[in-house]
Structure 1
Amino acid sequence: MVYGIFGQCVDIGQDIPIDRLKAIHYAKRTLKAQQRFDKAVESIPQTKLSFATPKNDKRGDERLQTVDELQYEHGNSSHRNK
């Protein structure tokens, strides 16, 4: 089964130079296309996501705890209860 064409840029379809493939055998883009891709990704604002229960949570379920709270309460290899 062929899932793609090895050695061709996924963005522009141009052949990826052999020197680039020797240096980065899994390269999917030409150097210029990769630079454009990286610049575009950097321009997208990143949102800091958190799975922590907010302090002002109104659901009233005190069973919801963050990993940090559980580690503090029960200890782990990097934080031990005293």
Structure 2
Amino acid sequence: MLEGPDLAGKGTLYRGIHRATGFRWNILDRSFLSMLVYAKMYGRDTGLHAQGLWSELTNMNNRFVLMLPSYEAVIERYKVRG
């Protein structure tokens, strides 16, 4: 599971892993962590997202990659992509 803000490079890493492995792995771009954050941000119920996150975090088959580029890098990427 790839987590991080918009323009962190999740999609680029996702495509690179799939190219390198021939789609061997099921990779998710965002997880229940993002869903929980957005639910809280918009004042929505978080119960199911919290349960889902717990399930994802306690499943030892899952791998999380947290991508946190610098603020400056994200700003530059927004200028290019919009």
If the length of structure 2 is used for normalisation, what is the TM-score? 0.23
Larger relative contact order (CA 8 Å, sep ≥ 6): 2
Query: Bigger radius of gyration, 1 or 2?
Result: 1
If the length of structure 1 is used for normalisation, what is the TM-score? 0.23
The structure richer in strand per residue is 2
